[in-house]
């Protein structure tokens, strides 16, 4: 069950909000990290994110098979924060996945039956049209992924300048 989808632009406070959101509602907390330390700059980003998480968080590093990781660890945790969906999508594209749409469909279907989770994602479609085909494909797929994830989420929050705006709230 997707508890919440947290979206927004770069450095808008998405991850921080997702962690606080989960901490206020659940006890046993896990972060499913999709980032890969492929260069020094990304290693630094990952280290900064780790240092921002309180000690009660467990981290599961999984760049591609996020639902399988959550199912494998479901008995140990009350909630999983997946950070982030757009990095997961990048990982698929960089691995040469010819049909990421199938992976998106499978992920969304699996999330409906997965343990409770909070999804973090980037909004990349509000800027200019990218100049190359791969970047345009990524932007389009990210929009599809985010729309589909929002459909199966109980709540959707949009981060702007570190301020969360509730876009979809639980129905009674």
What pLDDT score was predicted for residue 11? 87
Domains of the chain, by residue range, sit at 2-166
pTM: 0.93
Q: Which long-range contacts (CB under 8 A, 24 or more apart) does 133-136 make?
A: 134/93
pLDDT value at residue 112: 83
Q: What is the pLDDT of residue 125?
A: 87
Residue with tokens 């901490």: 23
What CATH topology corresponds to 2-166? Rossmann fold (3.40.50)
Q: What is the pLDDT along the chain (172 residues), one digit of tens a residue?
A: 789 999 999 889 999 999 999 999 999 999 999 998 889 998 888 888 888 887 889 999 999 999 899 999 999 999 999 999 999 999 999 988 788 999 999 999 988 888 899 999 999 988 888 899 999 999 999 999 999 999 999 999 999 999 999 999 987 7
Give the Cα separation of 145 and 6 in Å (integer).
13
- Scored b (16 or more CB within 10 A) or e, 50-62 reads eeebeeebebbeb
pLDDT at 128: 86
Do residues 100 and 89 make contact, with C-beta atoms less than 8 angstroms apart? yes
pLDDT at 135: 92
CB proximity list for 57: less than 8 A, separation 6 or greater? 19, 29, 30, 31
Active site residues: 49
């Amino acid at each position: 069950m997707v508890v919440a989808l947290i979206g927004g632009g770069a450095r808008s406070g998405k991850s921080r909000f997702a962690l606080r959101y989960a901490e206020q509602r659940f006890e046993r907390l896990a972060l499913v990290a999709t980032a890969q330390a492929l260069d020094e700059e990304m290693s630094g980003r990952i280290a900064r994110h780790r240092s921002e998480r309180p000690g009660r968080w467990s981290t599961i590093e999984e760049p591609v098979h996020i639902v399988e990781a959550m199912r494998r660890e479901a008995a140990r945790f009350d909630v999983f924060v997946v950070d982030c969906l757009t990095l997961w999508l990048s990982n698929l594209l960089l691995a040469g996945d010819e049909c990421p749409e199938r992976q998106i469909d499978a992920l969304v279907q699996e999330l409906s039956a997965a343990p409770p989770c909070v999804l973090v994602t980037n909004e990349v479609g509000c800027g200019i049209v990218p100049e190359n085909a791969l970047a345009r494909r990524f932007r389009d797929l990210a929009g599809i992924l985010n729309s589909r994830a929002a459909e199966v989420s109980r709540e959707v929050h949009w981060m702007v300048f570190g301020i969360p705006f509730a876009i979809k709230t639980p129905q009674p």
